Amino acid sequence: MTLNPRRLVIGISGASGAAYGIAALALARAAGVETHLVVSRSALLTLQQELGLQKADLDGRADVIHPAADIGATIASGSFRTMGMLIAPCSVRTMSEIATGVTSTLMSRAADVVLKERRRLVLMLRETPLHLGHLETMTRLTQMGGIIMPPVPAFYAKPQSLDEVVTHSTARALDLFDIDTGAVKRWNGLKDALEGPA
């Protein structure tokens, strides 16, 4: 018997990289995971700008879509069992709200719940370069039990398209919830490369 059902909260904040959140929804669904989506107001602008998606285009991509202002949603309570929460992408604002315990939106409240229930929280932080305040906030969240996972390309996988880069990074984030999507090109070491012609 598992501690929590195969149910994951996915947040999409307004940072650049909305494709990561969309990929997470598709990969989780294909892996048989129930998804609960919350999208910030800023993210709706980013989704339109980067992917040409409107709010209505999100229908059907998640099992449940929660309005960002709905503080009374199921995911705002620790009694609603989940595997945890992935925020992809995660803005500095969202990260900072979570780190300080500010729960003014459902996104930050759901993340706060995940932390207090000692579940897994993964933030695909999209910001660079980083100043000391960013680094201190990341340290604080790590100490609180969160995982900071900037979406860094894995060049050893030899991606042939931007979609492959996004898919690999997102699938690695889902690995942290023990969700094997089958989309990760696993590192097999340098053995094959070193056994080439002498």
Q: pLDDT by residue (tens digit) across 16-64?
A: 999 999 999 999 999 999 999 999 999 999 999 999 999 999 999 999 9
Instruction: Spell out the residues 6+ positions from residue 87 whose beta carbon is closer than 8 angstroms to its own.
Output: 10, 11, 12, 13, 94, 107, 111, 121, 122, 123, 124
The structure's pTM equals 0.93
Q: From start to end of 19-131, where are the E strands?
A: 34-39, 64-66, 84-90, 120-125
Tell me if 129 is assigned to some domain: yes
Q: Are residues 95 and 141 in contact, defined by beta-carbon separation less than 8 angstroms?
A: yes
Tell me if 77 is assigned to some domain: yes
Number of domains in the chain: 1
Tell me if 61 is assigned to some domain: yes
Tell me if 11 is assigned to some domain: yes
Residue-wise pLDDT tens digits, 99-137: 999 888 999 999 999 999 999 999 999 999 999 999 999
Instruction: Spell out the residues 6+ positions from residue 119 whose beta carbon is closer than 8 angstroms to its own.
Output: 4, 82, 83, 84, 85
Tell me if 174 is assigned to some domain: yes
Residue-wise pLDDT tens digits, 151-177: 999 898 889 999 999 999 999 999 999
Query: What tokens were used for 147?
Result: 């995982």
Sign of CA dihedral 58, 179, 168, 170: positive
Tell me if 1 is assigned to some domain: no
Tell me if 2 is assigned to some domain: no
State which residues form the domain around 75.
7-194
What CATH number is associated with residue 92? Answer: 3.40.50.1950
The pLDDT-based confidence of 195 (bands split at 50, 70, 90) is: low
